[in-house]
Amino acid sequence: MNVDANTNLMERNYLMKSIIVTGIILTVVLANVNLLAKVTAETGVGKDVFKVVVTLFGLTNSTKDIATIVNVKDQTKLKLFNAENPQGPAEDKVSYTITFPNLTVNAGDPYTVCTVSVADFKLDCIKGKNSPLDRPEFVDIDKSGGTSEVKGQSSKD
């Protein structure tokens, strides 16, 4: 083959490889632009509301009424589990979604979830912090005497 033909072919291959690599880099950068924007707070406006999903489990037929109290900043909400009116037949758990509209909660802001049963009037509290992710906070509370969890971390107070 001619030297000029080889040089021309190598330049085309180099140019094509450069275009492909540049295209891949641009695709990766453009696909991850949303990952760079960090959620820093729930504003409490529209669908951007701070939510805590509390699940009580380990409930039995002898479980008495349980009050669940959630406090964030200067707002407190309460939900009552009535043992005589269960959420579903033969269920050993109940779940509540507690929302705080019109309240700005920044990432890292603390919240507290407490339960009190009429059986012993003992106040059990779990503390957590608002995660930077745009999702509800999840708190699992074992009323049978086991461990309770906030976002997968055992932190009973």
pLDDT band per the 50, 70, 90 thresholds, residue 59 = confident
Two structure tokens written together for 71:
């406090």
104 domain-assigned: yes
Is pTM beyond 0.75 here? Answer: no
Residue 133, domain CATH: 2.60.40.1120
d(CA 64, CA 58): 12
What is residue 155's predicted lDDT score, i.e. its pLDDT?
41
The answer on pLDDT for 132 being more than 70 is yes
The answer on pLDDT for 97 being more than 50 is yes
The answer on pLDDT for 77 being more than 70 is yes
The tally of domains found in the chain comes to 2
What is residue 134's predicted lDDT score, i.e. its pLDDT?
84
Residues 89 and 106 in one domain: yes
- Report CA 83 to chain centroid distance, whole Å: 28
| Bigger pLDDT: 38 vs 75 | 75
What is residue 53's predicted lDDT score, i.e. its pLDDT?
95
Residues 86 and 129 in one domain: yes
Percent with pLDDT over 70 in the chain: 70
156 domain-assigned: no
Mean pLDDT of 29-53: 70
Most confident of 6-20, 35-49, 73-87: 73-87
Residues 98 and 145 in one domain: yes
